Amino acid sequence: MPILQRLFSLEGKTALVTGGATGIGRMIATALAGAGARVLIASRKAEACEAAAAAINAEGHPGTVEGFAGDVSSEAGIATLAEAVEARTDRLEILFNNAGVSWGAPLETFPHAAWQKVMDVNVAGLFTVTQRLLPLLEASSTPDDPARIVNLGSVMGSAPLGQNVYSYAASKAAVHHLTRCLAKELAGRHVTVNAFAPGPFQSKMTAFATGTDEQAAAVGRGVPLGRIGSPDDIAGAALFLCGRGGAYITGAILPIDGGIAVETGHELFEEA
């Protein structure tokens, strides 16, 4: 078998990507399907997931994508999501905890409710989805080819970038630490747990700063490598961690940020 196929092919594997209809989640789903995986994508809006799945499938990837509704903001929603996954598969090789929300407001008016909403989705939701789907992940795991969990953190979880993102930045720092906690606990069950820490990418969440090519270029000028991220940057990281090439990596927080995390005192979006 050619080395690239041996290390990065995902043929025969099933993956779930929460929040997979748009933004980085859609980039991940496209990459996994391109490597041959069966990909389930879920978000609050079933129609958006179904449309995204149809669009990705129309691109002719060797894998297939299926979209359906899935809300990770409550325990009941997660139970319904898990039941939908269990109805479709009895094994899950890959789980991308990508769903997330943000909230921006000045310090003086930042609402208490913003903490509960953001932490419920970004941290508690991530944990409970993992907890609920762990039996499916363990059903597919082996010492040589462990099941994979990848959580979506953020460069803002490691570096004080931007303004008015108190709950979001704190939630992503929690995601990074939770990733390490789960990696330690699940290693003996042959499940790896890693996280992405992306910098700026074009997505619905960053549309205020990267929604046009001009805005994206302005933000990119503040990145050490001189540009914002592209879908291929996400795809490469996803295939690395989920393919055979990433089987010996767990507890890693992978920066996909063009070098931002190595700088300090930098306001990423101030020029946008």
Q: Please give the pLDDT value at position 222.
A: 87
Q: Rounded to 5 degrees, what are φ and ψ at 181? A: -60, -45
Is 129 inside a domain boundary? yes
Number of domains in the chain: 1
| % of the chain with per-residue pLDDT over 90 | 83
Per-residue model confidence as pLDDT tens digits over 120-144: 999 999 999 999 999 999 999 999 9
- Torsion of the alpha carbons at 46, 124, 117 and 17, rounded to the nearest 10: -30
Distance CA 32, CA 39 (A): 7
> Residue 271: which pLDDT band, with cuts at 50, 70 and 90?
very low
pLDDT at site 159: 80
CB 29 within 8 A of CB 56: yes
Annotated catalytic residues are 168
What tens digit of pLDDT does each residue of 202-253 get? 876 666 667 678 888 888 888 999 999 999 999 999 999 999 999 999 999 9
Range(s) of the domain holding residue 57: 3-256
User: Would you list the DSSP string of 37-52?
Assistant: -EEEEEES-HHHHHHH
According to the model, what pLDDT value does residue 82 have? Answer: 98
In a domain, 264, yes or no: no
Residue-level pLDDT at 202: 83
* Whether the Cβ atoms of residue 257 and residue 155 lie closer than 8 Å to each other: yes
pLDDT beyond 80 at 268: no
Is residue 272 in some structural domain? Answer: no
**pLDDT per residue over 158-216, tens digit each?**
887 778 889 999 999 999 999 999 999 999 999 999 999 999 998 766 666 676 788 88
The two structure tokens encoding residue 260? 């931002």
Q: 232 lies in a domain? A: yes
Residue 271 lies in a domain: no
Helix, strand, coil share of the chain (percent; to 5): 50, 15, 35
Judge whether 229 and 235 are in contact, CB under 8 Å.
Answer: no
Burial class (CB within 10 angstroms; exposed 0-12, middle 13-18, buried 19+) of 66 = middle
Residue 94 lies in a domain: yes
Give the per-residue pLDDT at 113: 94
**pLDDT at residue number 150:** 98
- Top pLDDT among 11 and 219 is at 11
Give residue 267's pLDDT. 53
Whether residue 204 is contained in a domain is answered as yes
User: Does 263 map to a domain?
Assistant: no
pTM of the model: 0.93
d(CA 152, CA 126): 9
**CATH code of residue 198:** 3.40.50.720
